[in-house]
Each structure stands twice: as C-alpha cells, then as structure tokens.
C-alpha cells in the first residue's frame, strides 16, 4: 500500500510540478518506512527496484512522455538492470533517488538511478528500457521525434557500453536450460 501512495504522490507532483526535457534529472526525496524493511532491518533489495520504478515514472511524467504513451498506446518496459548496493538504508532514513537518462541506442534507453543519503551513495543502478507498442518495439529515435526532442544520443559512458556488450541477448538460453 505504501508504494501506491508513493506512486500517487510522484504522479501528482510531476503533473503539477516543474517540467523538464527528456534528458532532465528527477530527484525524489523519500524515506525508508517499516514496510520497506527485510529481516535485517534495512531496506530490502527488492524495494530498491520498486523505488527506481518511481524515478522512471517521474521522468516520464515530468518529461512529457506519458501523454504521448497514452495517445500511441506505447508502454515502457525494462530489459535489464544492474545494481550495486553500497550502504544499507535503515528504518526512517531519508534518501534521495536521482534518476536520469544517460544515452540510447537503436532499441534501448539507458537510465541511471542513484540512491543517496547526503553525499553518500547507498546504491547505484543502470537499467535499460524500451517502449513497445501494438507493432512491437518503438525506437528511441521515434519516441524523441514525437516529443520534438533531439534524436542523437549523448555519448554512451564506457561502463554502460561494457555492461551492454556483456549482457545476454534476451533470446539466449540460460545455463539451466
């Protein structure tokens, strides 16, 4: 239930708050609640991903993408994620989720999520997402053209290129198969 209230808050704040372009930076100020905890009494790993969903939602709302998605019947989906947990988040701790689009290629948009407490990074993640519609995957260039944004990606950071190149293709068999 806590996530639902957070989601409603993000949508309302994004809808009525400051807008930014596709390359804008989202900053959400949040707190660790008891429903976010695991048996070790710190924020559970799964909750980090749920909170990062809120960051992407904020990027979509403040970036003006949501209306376009509804009109075109496109949906945002994730293809992969990598995260590094650096410091635990204890109960009632305030933290900031900083989300930003790093770059894109022909299919994927790469987004960074940083969870910070003051000047300390508690977790850092890079995710790759895409938009899918009735006809299949929608290229980032098509989305950006529809938004009236620049189509050329910023340079891909080396760490993102290395991660992208070592990631398994979605149709590759897993070791257990």
Q: Domain spanning 20-165: which superfamily?
A: Hotdog Thioesterase (3.10.129.10)
Mean pLDDT of the chain, nearest integer: 90
Q: Is 66 helix (H, G, I), strand (E, B) or coil?
A: helix
- Digit-coded pLDDT (tens) for 29-73: 999 999 999 999 999 999 999 999 999 999 999 988 888 899 999
| Region 131-148 average pLDDT | 93
pLDDT (average), residues 74-83: 94
pLDDT of 1 reads 57
User: 106: pLDDT confidence band, cut at 50, 70 and 90?
Assistant: very high
Question: H or E element: which one contains 112?
Answer: strand 109-117
* CA neighbours closer than 13 Å in the CB half-sphere of residue 167: 17
Does this model's pTM top 0.85? My answer is yes
Looking at the DSSP bridge assignments, the partners of residue 25 are 100
């Amino acid at each position: 239930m806590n996530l639902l209230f957070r989601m409603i808050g993000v949508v309302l704040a994004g809808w009525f708050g400051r807008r930014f372009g596709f390359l804008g930076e989202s900053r959400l100020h949040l707190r660790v609640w008891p429903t976010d905890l695991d048996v070790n009494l710190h924020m559970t790993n799964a909750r980090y991903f749920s909170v990062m969903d809120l960051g992407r939602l904020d990027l979509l709302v403040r970036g003006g993408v949501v209306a376009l998605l509804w009109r075109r019947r496109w949906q945002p989906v994730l293809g992969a994620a990598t995260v590094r947990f650096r410091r635990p988040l204890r109960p009632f701790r305030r933290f900031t989720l900083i989300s930003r689009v790093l770059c894109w290629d022909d299919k994927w948009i790469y987004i960074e999520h940083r969870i910070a407490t003051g000047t300390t990074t508690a977790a850092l993640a890079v995710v790759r997402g895409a938009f899918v519609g009735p006809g299949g995957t929608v290229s980032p260039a098509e989305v950006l053209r529809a938004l009236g944004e620049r189509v050329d990606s910023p340079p891909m950071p080396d760490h993102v290129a290395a991660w992208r190149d070592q990631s398994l293709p979605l149709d590759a068999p897993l070791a257990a198969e």
